[in-house]
Amino acid sequence: MNLYNVIKENFISGEWKRISPKKIFALLQAQKPFEQKSILKILNSLEDDGVIVFLDGVYFAVEFSDLIKGTLRGNEKGFAFLIPENDGKDYFIPNRNLNGALHGDEVLVRKVENSIKGSSDEAEVVKILKRGIQTLSGTFYKDRGKAFVRPDDKNFFEDVYIKNEFTLNAKSGDKVLVKIIGYFKGYSPDGKVLEVFGKKNDLFAEENSLIKGSGFEEEFSKKVLSEVSKISQKVGENQLIGRLNFSDRLIVTIDGEDSRDFDDAVEVEKLTNGNYKLGVHIADVSEYVKPKTAIDDEALNRSTSVYFPDRVLPMLPMELSNGICSLNEGEVRLTLSCIMEIDNSGEVIDRQIVKSVITSKRRLTYTKVQAMLDGDESVINDCKDVYPMIILMGELQRILSKKRDERGSVDLDVKESHITYNNGEISVNPRESKRAYKIIEEFMVLTNETVAEFAFFQELPILYRVHEKPTVEKATAFVEFLKVLGVSVRWRPENARPSDYANVLERIKDKPFYSLVNKVMLRSMQKASYYPENLGHFGLSSKCYCHFTSPIRRYPDLIVHRVLKHVLDGDIVAINDLYGDFIYEMAKQTSEREKRATEIERTVDDLYKAKYMENFIGQEFDAVISGVTAFGVFSELENSVEGITKLEDLPRGNYEFDQKSYKLSSSKHSFALGEKVRVGVLRVDLSSRRTEFIILYKIK
pLDDT for residue 69: 87
CB 229 within 8 A of CB 286: no
pLDDT for residue 184: 86
Q: What is the pLDDT of residues 335-365, one digit of tens each?
A: 999 999 999 999 999 999 999 999 999 999 9
Q: What is the pLDDT of residues 479-522, one digit of tens each?
A: 988 988 889 999 999 999 999 999 999 999 888 888 889 988 99
Residues counted in the chain = 700
CB 184 within 8 A of CB 128: no
Residues 237-251 have a mean pLDDT of 96
Q: What is the pLDDT of residues 400-440, one digit of tens each?
A: 999 999 999 998 877 778 899 998 899 998 877 789 999 99
CATH (residue range 617-698): 2.40.50.140
CB 452 within 8 A of CB 545: yes
For the beta sheet containing 670-672, the strands, ordered from the edge strand earlier in sequence to the opposite edge, are 656-658, 663-665, 670-672
Residues 200-216 have a mean pLDDT of 94
Asked, colleague to colleague, whether 66-130 and 617-698 share their fold, the answer is yes
Question: For residue 582, what pLDDT band results from cuts at 50, 70 and 90?
Answer: confident
Q: Domain boundaries in the chain? A: 3-63, 66-130, 135-213, 222-465+536-602, 469-525, 617-698
Q: Which helix (H) or strand (E) holds 680?
A: strand 676-685
Protein fold of 66-130: OB fold (Dihydrolipoamide Acetyltransferase, E2P) (2.40.50)
pLDDT for residue 112: 87
CA 66 from chain centre, in angstroms, equals: 32
Dihedral of CA atoms 9, 589, 606, 686 in degrees, nearest 10, equals: 70
Question: For residue 661, what pLDDT band results from cuts at 50, 70 and 90?
Answer: confident
pLDDT for residue 157: 92
Supply the DSSP symbol for 648: G
Spatial CA neighbour of 156 closest among 176, 173, 175, 180: 180
CATH (residue range 135-213): 2.40.50.700
Number of Cβ within 10 Å of residue 186's Cβ equals 6
pLDDT at 114 over 70: no
Average pLDDT over the chain, rounded to an integer: 93
pLDDT for residue 414: 74
Question: Hey, what CATH class is 3-63 in?
Answer: mainly alpha
pLDDT at 581 over 90: no
More confident residue, 572 or 248: 248
pLDDT for residue 561: 97
Instruction: Name residues whose C-beta falls within 8 Å of residue 150's C-beta, 6 or more positions apart in sequence.
Output: 138, 139, 141, 159
- Cα separation, 99 vs 186, in Å, equals 8
Secondary structure (DSSP) of 287-324 = GTS-TTSHHHHHHHHH-B-EEETTEEE-SS-HIIIIII
Question: For residue 165, what pLDDT band results from cuts at 50, 70 and 90?
Answer: very high
pLDDT for residue 433: 75
pLDDT for residue 650: 95
pLDDT at 116 over 60: no
Amino acid at 335: T
Question: What is the model's pTM?
Answer: 0.88
Q: What is the pLDDT of residues 171-189, one digit of tens each?
A: 999 999 999 999 987 789 9
Query: Among 167-171, 292-296, 686-690, which stretch is predicted with the lowest mean pLDDT?
Result: 686-690
Cross-strand partners of 672: 663
Residues 13-42 have a mean pLDDT of 92
More confident residue, 40 or 119: 40
Q: Give the three-state DSSP class for 487.
A: coil
pLDDT at 574 over 90: no
- Cα separation, 283 vs 306, in Å, equals 19
CB under 8 A, 24+ apart: contacts of 425-432: 426/309, 426/608, 426/611, 426/612, 427/612, 428/608, 428/609, 428/612, 428/639, 428/640, 428/641, 429/639, 430/638, 430/639, 430/640
Q: What per-residue string of b and e applies to 415-430 under the rule 16 or more CB within 10 Å gives b?
A: bebebebeeeebebee
pLDDT for residue 438: 95
Residues 386-394 have a mean pLDDT of 97
Residues 464-478 have a mean pLDDT of 93
